[in-house]
Amino acid sequence: MNPSVGDIMTGPPVTVGPEESVARAAALMERERVGGLPVVEDGRLVGIIISRDVRRAHPNRLVADVMTGEVVSVPPGTTLWEARELLERRGIERLVVVDDAGAPVGVVTKAALLAELSKHVDALTGLPGASHLRCEAARLLEEGREISVIFLDLDNFGAIDKELGHARGDEVLRVVARVLRDAVGEGEGLLARYGGDEFAVVTDRPREEAKRLAERLIRALAEAEWPAGLKVTASAGVAGGRRTGGRDQGTAAETVANLVNMASLASTAAKRAGAGVLVADQVSLCVASA
């Protein structure tokens, strides 16, 4: 289940009517300690009034004369990353969450959203975490794009941790993240630290391109400079990028889980075989139409 605005919204929101006064809206904002109020008429969201509007306007004015009529609203299922993209693109500080009937059911502020998103960033490497990768993969699938998942597993990382200590291990992981980040081109895919010594990339490139990207990542790690004279290598598995089944079964999330699993198993097989990169065969992309 992808983290969504419905998980973090505050609600039900305190609202104000368009025929109420700005003074009333200001009093409500102060009482509720909020920076904005959805404006609701006949149960439907018709605008939003924020503290800046209130400061600029005469208190006698109608809320209808001061509010922003074009409210950016989202359904509760909107992912945190979609919500952030929307906030940044529109240059706004809050989103009103509405139900199917257009009635406001909550509010998400930028501050709350960023605080929640920080939980999905790996603190050690600064890379997105697994949840972000899964969410991005599901989004691409739901947009009707084919995806490939590259799963990278460091070779013998356990030995580094055991023999050189966790601090050195953490240092290695930070270097791995930097090397991989530099190797994945702009717009080529989303790189994430999947967990432990596992990294993953989701890309909308076809399988052959994904395989070449995986080989490039493996090569970049092999050629990188490592602390304490270490030699760090990785094995990779690639899955997806070639639709072999219909899109009539399962959800995008299930398809993503399936792809990650196959790529992970392929990386394990590559490690055993000392093959560098292996591609998972017989990949079936099955996702329910939205």
Partner 1 sequence: MEAAAGAAGTRKAELQIRFSEFEIPPMQDVLLVGRRAPIGPEAARRMVDAVCPDQYEIITLDHPVFEAAVIRRPLLRLVPVEKLVAVLIEEVGPLAAEDMVVKAQVKAVVQVTREVEL
Taking a C-beta distance cutoff of 8 angstroms, is the pair 32, 160 a contact? no
Q: Closest distance between partner 1 and the C-beta of residue 93, in Å?
A: 23
Q: How far is the CB of 142 from partner 1 (least distance, A)?
A: 39
Q: 3-state DSSP helix/strand/coil percent for the chain, to nearest 5?
A: 45, 20, 35
CB of 42 to partner 1, least distance (A): 16
Q: How far is the CB of 102 from partner 1 (least distance, A)?
A: 20
Comparison of 21 and 284: residue with beta carbon closer to partner 1: 21
Q: Which is nearer to partner 1, 60 or 118 (CB)?
A: 60
Nearer to partner 1, 58 or 272 (CB): 58
Per-residue DSSP letters for 140-177?
A: HHHTT---EEEEEEETTHHHHHHHH-HHHHHHHHHHHH
What DSSP character marks residue 63?
A: G
Q: What is the rounded CA–CA span in Å between residue 8 and residue 3?
A: 9
Q: Which residues contact partner 1 by CB under 8 A?
A: 18-19, 56-58, 60-62, 64-66
Judged by beta carbon, residue 61 or residue 178, the one nearer partner 1 is: 61
Decide whether 55 or 89 has the Cβ nearer to partner 1. 55
| Distance of alpha carbon 217 from alpha carbon 192, whole angstroms | 13
The phi-psi region of residue 13 (left if phi > 0; otherwise alpha if psi is between -120 and 50; otherwise beta) is beta
Residues 258 and 240: their CA atoms lie apart, in Å, by: 9
Instruction: Say if residues 174 and 265 touch (Cβ distance below 8 Å).
Output: no
Minimum CB distance to partner 1 smaller for 18 or for 250: 18
User: Shortest Cβ distance from residue 68 to partner 1 (Å)?
Assistant: 13
* CA neighbours closer than 13 Å in the CB half-sphere of residue 95: 33
Number of other CB atoms surrounding residue 115 within 10 Å: 11
If the CB atoms of residues 57 and 239 are measured against partner 1, the closer one turns out to be 57
Shortest Å distance, C-beta 34 to partner 1 = 23
Q: In the beta sheet, which residues pair with residue 184?
A: none
Q: How far is the CB of 58 from partner 1 (least distance, A)?
A: 5
* CB contact at 8 A, 141 and 253: no
Backbone angles phi, psi at 67, to 5 degrees: -65, 160
